[in-house]
Structure 1
Amino acid sequence: MAASMISAAPILLEPGFKFRPTDEDVVVHYLRPRAMNEPLPSGCIVDVDILSHNPWELVPEGSVEKYYFSRRVPRWPLGNRRKRTAGDGHWKASGKDVPIFSKGINGRVPMMVGLKKTMVFYRGKAPFGENTEWVMEEYRLAEAGLMPSHVMRPREGRNLGKCGCAAAVIAKKNDELSEALRNAIASLKKVPVMVKPDDSWVVCHIYRKKKKCAMPRVFAQTYNIAGGGQVPFFDFIGQGNPERAASSSSLTGPPIEKENDDTDGSTNEKACSGEGK
């Protein structure tokens, strides 16, 4: 169901374009406008109920990551904790929240506008479950990001009564409305209205962890030194080649004690013979 939902409305991007927003872009240009019901810069992020799906159902085939708008659902009516049960398992927080700052304008001090929480998906019921490779970064508004601001909204028209704003929303979604109603809505004057962002909205960045590549094994060898100690020797050149390893070990090995004894004996014999003469 989720796969069909995602593939039903594909997003056509220009060749070579990749949606790689920064944390500040996600909070300032996407999350805050969505929380204030304002137009978005693009349709790359859509609304999805994250808790109704498994993470592998939300990432389309051929993609490695995906961004979604979603709402946080409280676990209890008067509590601050949120529901984390989703699909066949649950999301578990990993690490501390990371603050997100917006760059200051005209030399001003950067302000914190949001927080990012990293979570890992577990199969099964909490607090137990099987750890998976799926990760979600949840972006939410905080501090300056939750400050209300003036937004242009249509004024309630006399000919539409108090339903002017609702009719304006319907006109955008329904193409079968009469031309007279469209013209009446378009003629409405917009006035600034103080709007407070809805803090239940979040942006969820879902992706799969990359598997770590296995490092090549290094074989250690030891040899005796004059003092009798053991010194590790790493054979990087002869690794994987037994003949070369044998030759390299013979070249790098210490001299044999027997040869030292023979040389010492020969010198002693020569010295003795010289003294006799």
Structure 2
Amino acid sequence: MDKFNFVKDGAIKLPPGFRFQPTDEEIVFQYLIRKTFSCPLPASIIPEINICSNDPWDLPGDIEQDRYFFSNKEAKYRNGNRANRATIGGYWKPTGLDKQIICSKRKPIIGMKKTLVFYKGKTASQAYRTDWIMHEYRLVLPKNSSSNLHAHFKKSSQLSQSKRK
């Protein structure tokens, strides 16, 4: 089954009967960690796309369903840590508190989930909130566990989920 190409014409096409609805824990432990350490993924159905170069309605996939993408974190400033979340027609604004994702088998926090809302317009005074929501997942690796995980799993990425509420 891993020989199938699930991305056709820029959209994710799954075989009949396959429903992709991973939990937060599965996203972090089955996909994000494996992608980060260049290990094979359980299913190769998540495309790699620069989220911020596209508006949410221009991303591949069915607009009425949840869509998943891998995306590298792009810095807003050359020497800074602040993420660039500006797209062609607007920007993704973080909202609420980050949620900790803990593995049920291990106790340390290993992932975080940030919720972002899409605002259409370039400046805060002109922008208006849309119904688009994105959940951004990132790894938080304790210093002593990084080598253990790397040895267990074998480039830093983030996984984003875009959907319309």
Aligned length in residues: 155
* Distance in 1 separating the partners of 2:142 and 2:11: 34
Gaps of 5+ in 2: 1-6
Listed as ranges, the matches of 1:103-114 within 5 Å are 103-104=104-105, 109-114=106-111
Aligned ranges 1:12-161 → 2 under 5 Å: 12-61=13-62, 63-104=64-105, 109-128=106-125, 129-144=127-142, 147-148=146-147, 149-150=150-151
What is the Cα deviation at residue 74 of structure 1?
1.1
What is the letter of the counterpart of residue 124 of structure 2? P
Distance 1:11 1:67 in 2: 9
**Mapped contact 2:11–2:62 kept (Cα < 8 A):** no
Deviations 1:136-190 (A, max 9, x none): 00000013497132268xxxxxxxxxxxxxxxxxxxxxxxxxxxxxxxxxxxxxx
CA distance in 2, matches of 1:84, 1:208: 17
Moved over 4 A (4+): 9-12
Normalised by the size of structure 2, how large is the TM-score? 0.83
CA contact (8 A) 1:140 1:203 kept: yes
**Aligned partners of 2:11 and 2:164: how far apart in 1?**
21
Provide the rounded CA distance (Å) in 1 between the counterparts of 2:119 and 2:11: 29
Aligned AA for 2:44?
A: G
Residue deviations 1:219-249 (CA, integer Å, cap 9, x gap): xxxxxxxxxxxxxxxxxxxxxxxxxxxxxxx
Determine the C-alpha separation between the residues in 1 that align with 2:119 and 2:54: 13
Give 1:62 deviation, angstroms. Answer: 6.0
Q: Distance in 2 between matches of 1:89 and 1:48?
A: 17
Separation in 2 of the partners of 1:203 and 1:10? 17
SS for the counterpart of 1:47 is coil
Q: Residue 208 of structure 1 aligns with which residue?
A: 164
TM-score by length of 1: 0.51
The 5 Å alignment of 1:211-250 reads none
Percent identity, aligned pairs only, is: 34
1:119 positional shift = 0.4
Gap runs ≥5 in structure 1:
1-5, 153-194, 210-277
Task: Work out which structure has the larger RCO, using CA pairs closer than 8 Å and 6 or more positions apart in sequence.
Answer: 2
Q: Which structure shows the higher helix fraction?
A: 1
Q: Deviations over 1:41-68 (max 9, x none)?
A: 1012110010110101115246421000
Could you say which structure has the higher strand fraction? 2
Deviations 1:200-226 (A, max 9, x none): x110100001xxxxxxxxxxxxxxxxx
Is the CA contact (8 Å cut-off) linking 2:69 and 2:160 kept in structure 1? Answer: yes
1:39, distance to aligned residue in structure 2 (A) = 0.9
In the aligned structure 2, how far is the partner of 1:62 from the partner of 1:137?
Answer: 16
